[in-house]
């Protein structure tokens, strides 16, 4: 009895320490994001959302009576979750504190994202995780597969098999999986997915995607109208907001950016080195790399990461207005355009990168690899080769979910930015600063 009381006390102390550390880190990163100049109007909504989840430790802002469904990959169609009358939250984690807890549970070589998820599961303190009625885990890599098993003892878990190819048969099979997922969602929420509710789900997510494509179009302008870190924060906040609220908030940001474009009020007058960030997912609060880039005088002009713009970029295209046709369009959208390295042949990612480089006039690419994220690490060589042919400098930054490597990253990023600046014509560097 005594030991249990003591153990309970210890556990409570550990929990308190976890909460205070977790909230401190999150608050620090939010502050650093806030301190960056040039945040657009309406940006606070996104900061508040992240603050609510990570600093105030509250659940996602979900309408009364609706259940939340945790998703661990962008390949889970949000449309289906909305159609079942629930709200999806993205649970891929970037939390340093949870990572340090998960480090003891997961094997050494597991990726930090999965370790952080394992840490949250272990402590059971994070409301966003605890509120979920069900979790959907697409098996995109071995770590995801094992974490799906670990999560299973706390919560109902649905795994989704992600094929290695994207042929017709794979699409058919994935459509079947989506039907199975829909059935599970119906069981959990108690609502039926009908033609009307699915169409409504399409409309809600479509509205968000419409705003996103506007946002991306505005972001392409040079000099930049918005900082990449702000853009990535907006995309990260989408994980914990309903599509309606998010698109409404993004609409405000877009109209502010439009005003900026009209009045030629750019975020930085100087031509900062424009950097494309790609590779493993960058999840709040693990924002150290984009923050470092922008604090070191670069600008994240493009991001190709799945918690970033890629996650919601591709719209489902309905070519057959039946229920089955809509399900198929979701399967098609999830697999075919997805440049995720989980697919055996992923050459389309190179084209996507080339297009982003051309659209945003990228001068350098930073390839982010989370330690242990094998599939992304595998693709680095190919991308380095291809971009080398275009004359675009690339560096590979490996990082973990802690702040020990920050100084190292800072030196490398600074050197990289200097390298790009050296390549620029000198008069461009010294142009007078306007705007902010």
Partner 1 sequence: MKSRRKLIVTILVCGGLAALAYFSWMLPFYEFDVNDYDVSFEKLFSAEYLRTLVPLFIIAALSAVGIVLVVKLRKQMVKSDRRYSRFADAHTSKQSGRAPKQKPALFMIVRRTVMVVSAVVLIWGGLIFGLKMSSLSLPLLSCPWNSEEMTASSCYYLSHLNELFQLPIKKILLFVGSTAASVILLGRAVCGFICPMGLIQDVMDRLRRRTKTEGIAANEKLYAALTPIKWTLVLVFAGLCFAGGNFCNFCPMVSVSPILAGISTSLYVSGFLMIFVLIGSFFKRRLFCSVCPVGYMVGLFHKVSLFRVKKDCTACTECGACYEACPMGIKQIYTERGKADVTDANCIMCGECVRCCPEDNALSLTFAGAKIYSSSRKKLMSGCEPAEKVRR
Footprint on this chain of partner 1 (rule: CB under 8 A): 166, 168, 171, 176, 179-180, 182-183, 186, 192-200, 202-203, 206-207, 209-211, 213, 247, 251, 254-255, 258-259, 314-315, 317-326, 328-329, 332-333, 336-337, 339, 347-348, 351-352, 354-355, 358
Parallel, antiparallel, or unpaired: how do β-strands 87-90 and 68-71 relate?
parallel
Nearer to partner 1, 57 or 318 (CB): 318
Inter-residue contact 66 to 86 (CB < 8 Å)? yes
Nearer to partner 1, 285 or 308 (CB): 308
CB of 135 to partner 1, least distance (A): 22
Q: Which residues pair with 137 in a beta bridge?
A: 159
Nearer to partner 1, 1 or 317 (CB): 317
Nearer to partner 1, 146 or 184 (CB): 184
CB of 410 to partner 1, least distance (A): 34
Quote the CA–CA distance of 282 and 94 in Å, as a whole number. 7
Q: CA-CA distances (angstroms) from residue 323 to 44, 188, 285?
A: 38, 21, 39
Q: CA-CA distances (angstroms) from residue 357 to 125, 220, 277?
A: 41, 10, 11
CB of 246 to partner 1, least distance (A): 13
CB of 382 to partner 1, least distance (A): 15
CB of 202 to partner 1, least distance (A): 6
Closest CA to 296 of 403, 414, 411, 397: 414
Nearer to partner 1, 248 or 400 (CB): 248
Nearer to partner 1, 43 or 284 (CB): 43
Nearer to partner 1, 4 or 263 (CB): 263
Give DSSP secondary structure letters for 265-285: --S-SS-PPEEEEEES---TT
CB of 86 to partner 1, least distance (A): 17
List all residues 6 or more positions away from 132 whose beta carbon is below 8 Å from its beta carbon: 68, 69, 70, 89, 91, 155
DSSP H or E stretch at residue 82: helix 78-83
CB of 314 to partner 1, least distance (A): 6
SS3 96: helix
CB of 72 to partner 1, least distance (A): 22
Residues in the chain: 436
Quote the CA–CA distance of 52 and 58 in Å, as a whole number. 6
Q: CA-CA distances (angstroms) from residue 16 to 11, 22, 363, 431?
A: 9, 10, 45, 51
Q: Which two tokens stand for residue 23?
A: 């909230």
Measure the CA angle with vertex 125, ends 154 and 60; round to 5°: 90
Nearer to partner 1, 122 or 348 (CB): 348
Nearer to partner 1, 12 or 183 (CB): 183
List all residues 6 or more positions away from 11 whose beta carbon is below 8 Å from its beta carbon: none
CB of 348 to partner 1, least distance (A): 5
């Amino acid at each position: 009895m005594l030991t249990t009381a003591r153990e309970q006390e210890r556990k409570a102390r550990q929990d308190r320490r976890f909460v205070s550390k977790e909230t401190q880190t999150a608050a620090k990163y939010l502050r650093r994001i806030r301190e960056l100049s040039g945040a657009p109007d309406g940006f606070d909504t996104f900061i508040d959302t992240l603050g609510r989840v990570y600093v105030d430790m509250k659940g996602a802002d979900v309408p009364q009576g609706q259940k939340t469904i945790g998703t661990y990959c962008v390949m889970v169609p949000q449309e289906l979750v909305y159609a079942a009358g629930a709200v999806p939250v993205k649970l891929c984690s970037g939390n340093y504190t949870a990572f340090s807890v998960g480090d003891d549970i997961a094997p050494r070589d597991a990726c930090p994202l999965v370790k952080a998820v394992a840490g949250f599961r272990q402590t059971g303190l994070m409301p966003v995780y605890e509120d979920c009625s069900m979790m959907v885990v697409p098996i995109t890599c071995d770590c995801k597969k094992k974490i799906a098993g670990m999560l299973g003892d706390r919560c109902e878990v649905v795994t989704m098999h992600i094929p290695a190819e994207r042929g017709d048969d794979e699409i058919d099979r994935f459509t079947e999986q989506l039907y199975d997922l829909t059935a599970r969602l119906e069981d959990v929420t108690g609502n039926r997915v009908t033609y009307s509710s699915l169409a409504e789900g399409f409309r809600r997510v479509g509205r968000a995607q419409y705003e996103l494509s506007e946002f991306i179009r505005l972001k392409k302008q040079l000099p930049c109208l918005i900082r990449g870190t702000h853009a990535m924060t907006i995309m990260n906040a989408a994980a914990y907001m309903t599509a309606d609220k998010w698109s409404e908030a993004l609409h405000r940001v877009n109209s502010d950016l439009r005003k900026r474009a009209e009045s030629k009020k750019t975020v930085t007058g100087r031509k900062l080195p424009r950097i494309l960030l790609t590779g493993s997912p960058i999840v709040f609060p693990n924002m150290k790399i984009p923050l470092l880039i922008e604090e070191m005088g670069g600008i994240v002009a493009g991001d190709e990461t799945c918690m970033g713009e890629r996650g919601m970029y591709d719209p489902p295209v309905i070519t057959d207005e039946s229920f089955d046709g809509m399900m198929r369009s979701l399967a098609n959208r999830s697999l075919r355009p997805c440049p995720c390295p989980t697919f055996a042949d992923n050459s389309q990612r190179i084209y996507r990168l080339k297009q982003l480089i051309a659209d945003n006039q990228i001068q350098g690419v930073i390839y982010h690899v989370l330690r242990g994220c094998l599939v992304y690490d595998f693709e680095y060589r190919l991308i380095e080769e291809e971009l080398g042919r275009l004359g675009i400098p690339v560096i590979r930054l490996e990082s973990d979910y802690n702040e020990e490597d920050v100084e190292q990253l800072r030196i490398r990023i600074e050197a990289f930015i200097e390298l790009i600046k050296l390549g620029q014509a000198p008069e461009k560097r010294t142009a007078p600063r306007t705007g902010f």
